[in-house]
């Protein structure tokens, strides 16, 4: 388990915000084929505007 992955990030945010962690949402995301490792999806896209490589899947462009 990488500390910078989604699950520990959510756990730390929940702790700081004094609320229960939303682990069920993470499990649903994984069950639907979403990325549970990266916050904004895996780094699989290229920016159509400038050509920057490896931007997160949830981003339309780099900037």
Would you give the end-to-end CA distance of the chain in angstroms?
A: 29
What HEC string does 12-57 produce? Answer: HHHHHHCCCCCHHHHHHHHHCCCCCCCCCCCEEEECCCCCCEEEEC
Q: What is the pLDDT of residue 46?
A: 93
Helix (H, G, I), strand (E, B) or coil at 63: coil
Q: Looking at residue 19, what is its pLDDT?
A: 97
Tell if the pTM clears 0.75, that is, is over it.
no
Q: How far is CA 11 from the centre of its chain?
A: 13
> Could you report the per-residue pLDDT of 6-17, keeping only the tens digit for each?
888 899 999 999
What pLDDT score was predicted for residue 39?
A: 81
Q: Could you report the per-residue pLDDT of 12-58, keeping only the tens digit for each?
A: 999 999 999 998 988 888 888 877 788 888 889 999 889 899 999 88
């Amino acid at each position: 388990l990488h500390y910078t992955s989604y699950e520990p990030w959510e756990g730390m945010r929940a702790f700081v915000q004094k609320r229960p962690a939303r682990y069920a949402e993470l499990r649903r995301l994984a069950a639907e084929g979403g990325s549970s490792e990266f916050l904004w999806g895996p780094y699989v896209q290229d920016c159509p505007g400038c050509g920057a490589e490896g931007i997160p899947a949830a981003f339309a462009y780099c900037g």
